[in-house]
A and B are shown apart, each in its own frame.
Chain A
């Protein structure tokens, strides 16, 4: 075999290998395209059409966006609620998940595993949130009502899910209960694997409290894990809506706890105004993407 023959042989091996590599990525790529990329592209196109799923789509220009931003009062209410839920359960949920992970990390592995399970179990339980419906039940049989009545804080039962003074707070509490998910596990893991030598060096450099240690050593060394956790938290905090719908109904009193996700569900699968539902989806995608970029910038500046 001379040199050029060896080269040709190698090329064909490479080509064959490349082909198999493409085949191996194909199943994921296909489903990723059809159920993640295509939905986003489809929403963008459809948001400029009027479509009821019976007749074919009609071009509507920017009518859907005009309706969303200018004429639809409900949109601004749901947008504001989405923002409230996202701002509270996002950063606060993230902070709690980090602080809990940080505390848990102080214990020996057995206690640590038990504590991690205790905080993660609501996420595992999935549909068990309806327990809260019993706790916050609107009649005097509800635990919270019966407790408050007994000690004279209230004189008649409060309807926690329809009373607009309380329903947002109650639902935020339930969402926080559910927010120790993937990001919580990632934070624990990131803390456990942070570099021991850094802490020793820190002690020599005059770090005396656990807060200094956290700010100057721990946070900068696990930046990339924090960004992953933050992304997971954005994903979950902007998709809030199903539990609110189950507990407070849709529409809730004065739309007080309706979110963009629950509004999209109503406009789409109840009223079949698919163009408008698509425009709302595009708005949600855009807000999430912008949040993601901003948080990336914040994380990047951490510890600098």
Chain B
């Protein structure tokens, strides 16, 4: 993949490269400084949180803010393990089902001869435009009609049909799995589901790893649409963070500590999936 980089040097001036590097550095700083601040503040002792004028970095780092979290959360009506389990349950179930549903549908749309598959794919491609935010009110009405309000399913069900997932996996199958490979298995009498499971899935690992990243980061930080969750015991970790942050300036350290802890899982998933994501995205084009 790095080969392009060698040839293109022809059109590059040294001065230009320095200017671009400076630009990247500035933009990069703008991008990460808020999070660096977040991490720095999570290690600040109380007097440094209240100092005026405020300081960006920490002078005498301490773990107090992290140690205080259980005590702070102990004051909540529901044990914090409950929020944690809710978040983990929602994230695991939704991510897993998104991958299974999207990859099965993508396989059928790419390799089967079922009717209307072209039209169906065009509809999916167009629906990439609309996400849960823009569909919130009608989805709320549908959840109400299905009597699902104030159940854990309001977090999960609306996310299950990932249009981005089907789109990216289908494009990847189109680009990487030749028909002849599947034809051989078909002649040997392998049923479609077996072909999907034993041949297609192992070969499109980059594609479903990509959906793993997008699904995970989407669901992990989700807050329910207004009006869909009332019960305290059905709330999730991002809600806990918000309520700690609401404690004002003195609680800032602990709020930041919560944010840092919440950021760890998606960052790990990002590093695990990164190279796969790049590979998948190269076939992500919309052709019209």
Q: Which residues of A contact B (CB under 8 A)?
A: 17-18, 20-22, 24-25, 27-32, 34-40, 42-43, 46, 53, 96, 100, 103-109, 113, 115-128, 130-132, 134-135, 140-143, 146, 150, 177, 180, 182, 185-186, 188-190, 192-194, 196, 199-200, 203, 207-210, 212-213, 222-225, 227-228, 231-232, 234-236, 238-239, 241-242, 261, 264-265, 268-270, 274, 277-278, 281, 284-285, 288-289, 292, 296, 300
Task: List residues of B (65-108) whose CB comes within 8 Å of A's CBs.
Answer: 97, 100-102, 104-105, 107-108
Q: Are A36 and B245 in contact (CB under 8 A)?
A: no
How far is B27's CA from A104's CA once the two chains are assembled, in angstroms? 12
Measured in the bound complex, the distance between the Cα atoms of B282 and A190 in whole Å is 5
For the A-B complex with A18-B113, A105-B5, A127-B262 known, give 20 more contacts whose Cβ atoms are closer than 8 Å.
A18-B112, A24-B108, A25-B104, A35-B139, A37-B123, A38-B142, A39-B138, A106-B12, A109-B1, A123-B217, A126-B217, A126-B238, A126-B266, A127-B242, A130-B242, A177-B31, A186-B284, A190-B285, A234-B129, A261-B134
Number of A-B contacts (CB under 8 A): 303
> Are B34 and A132 touching (Cβ within 8 A)?
yes
**Cβ-closest 10 pairs across A and B:** A224-B285, A126-B221, A39-B138, A189-B281, A31-B161, A28-B105, A239-B133, A32-B161, A193-B282, A269-B226
Is A25 a contact of B108 with CB atoms below 8 Å?
yes
Contacts of A208 in B (CB 8 A): 11
Task: Give CA–CA (A206, B242) in the complex, Å.
Answer: 57
Name the prevailing secondary structure of the B interface residues.
helix
A226 to chain B: closest CB distance in Å?
A: 8
Interface set of B (CB-CB < 8 Å, partner A): 1-5, 7-8, 10-12, 16-17, 20, 23-24, 27-28, 30-32, 34-35, 37-38, 52-54, 56, 97, 100-102, 104-105, 107-109, 112-114, 120, 123-124, 126-131, 133-142, 144, 157-158, 160-161, 163-164, 166, 191-193, 196, 214, 217, 220-221, 223, 225-227, 238, 241-242, 245, 249, 252, 255-256, 259, 262-263, 266-267, 270-271, 274, 277-282, 284-288
